[in-house]
Amino acid sequence: MPPAARVYEVDGPGDWAALCRAHPVEVTASRRHDWYRATSGFREPGWAGRWVVPDWAAVAAHYDAVHLTYAGYLSSAGLAIPVDDPASVDDTRSVIAGWNPGATYWLTDLTPVGNAVRWHCVERADEPRWEIER
């Protein structure tokens, strides 16, 4: 990983909530039915209110990648994570859906590390072989 990469680390529900609070996109119409059922009877009743996920284009303006730690996954999987500030009257939730433990999603292109290496194919009677150009 490039040393200058800006990686947002999700180590628990609070980190995911902060990301959703800072860069929300509402997905209630498309996700409520599934996420209500997915969060029912796990640690709390299903949530029938407003749902958001991070706006990845907005997140990419601040971070190169988002990393979900194993601890973040284990403490958050299946939860209807409260997103709003506790002092807020609004009540919005989110789910970490479609992520694997330890996953990193890159939102921007990485700057190459090191020089480019050119390869060429050496034709041989038995089979072709790839070699680094010198």
38-97 pLDDT per residue, tens: 777 755 667 778 889 999 999 999 999 999 999 999 999 988 899 986 666 668 999 999
Q: Give CA–CA dist 100/120, Å, rounded.
A: 37
**Alpha helices, H only, the chain:** 13-22, 28-39, 56-60, 70-76
